[in-house]
Amino acid sequence: MSFSVSSSTDSRELRADELKWVARVRQGDELAMSALVGKHRQRLVHVAANLLRDAHEAEDVSQEAFIKAFREINRLREDRAFSGYLYRICVRLCMDRLRARKAEPSEFDVAMESKGEQVENRVVIERLLTKLTPDLRITIVLREVEQFSYEEVAEAMNVPVGTVRSRLHSAREKLRQLWMEAHSE
Amino acid sequence: MKWRKIKGEITDQFDPVMDEMLGALRRSTIEAEGSDNFEEAFLSRWRRAKEARPVFFWSPVLVGAAVTAFALLALLQIITYVPNDAVSPENMEVSLPASERPIFGNSEIITTP
């Protein structure tokens, strides 16, 4: 399975390039590292930003994920599984950061409050997401916001697909309940 | 659009609240791509991490070696320990009474100058 970064017809060529780059990274080639960073960074930062709800922290986590992925490249058994391996590291780092956080509204919430319905809904969503456990939060964001398939979510979170389905159901129900409470206030 | 299953019924029912909530969640996407100097910053961090790596990697070995050396020294000290009373004047030959002094069988062949 691969995490799609391009839907164009040359995806096969890109995959072949990626295999070469991963093989070169195993030998410590920094140019190949730059190539892999260039290929994956946009999507990875996007995913991290939506998991953490913080663009600056997302950039930091993404760089850390690349460093960890390249440093421990020998743990990767198959070169073609690089993207899944990279996202798994990134999701784990995001999970650690979310667990370390306190459940407080971010500065963004306070600054953007009461500026129209769309922004208001965004603020509500941000606040409600903080009330979910990191597992549920990551599952629902990867599936609903990042549009990962169930299999991709399972691979990124290193859990079976059945667990993803169950967590997704719990996350939707919990968020629905919180959403109703927030709008009844 | 989200359809909600109610108590396992075969027909699903449209759930407007879920639909609204999931719509709001999807619209709240943060459009981040990383800064322009992302790759430079990454390479700089990578090189720093690579330099720190050997020290980080070998530090447990160095600590282990130091502890082992200390333990060996302590062991050697214990093995080669000589209690003070073993060399006390009471145990020395010169301090023994004549009857307890060792007798050398060839004393008669010792000639005085």
Q: Among the listed ranges B41-55, B74-88, B89-103, which one has the minimum average pLDDT value?
A: B89-103
Task: Give chain A's mean pLDDT.
Answer: 85
ipTM for the complex?
Answer: 0.78
Average the pLDDT over B43-64 and give the result. Answer: 82
Looking at residue B107, its pLDDT comes to 57
Is the overall model pTM greater than 0.90, yes or no? no
Determine the angle formed by the axes of helices B38-79 and A30-52, rounding to 10 degrees: 100
Q: Is the Cβ of B24 closer than 8 Å to some Cβ of chain A?
A: yes
Q: Are A34 and B43 in contact (CB under 8 A)?
A: yes
Amino acid at the residue B111:
T
- If pLDDT is split at 50, 70 and 90, which confidence band does B113 have? low
Nearest CA in chain B to A69: B46
Residue B82: pLDDT band with limits 50, 70, 90: confident
B97 touches B106 (CB < 8 A): no
Contact map slice: A 18-37 vs B, CB within 8 A: 30, 33-34, 37
Residues of chain A under the 50 pLDDT cut: 107-114
The token pair at A158 is 């290193």
Cβ <8 Å between A175 and B25: yes
A177 at the B interface (CB within 8 A)?
no
Residue B27's closest CA among A120, A181, A78?
Answer: A120
pLDDT in tens, A53-93: 999 999 999 999 999 999 989 888 888 889 999 999 999 99
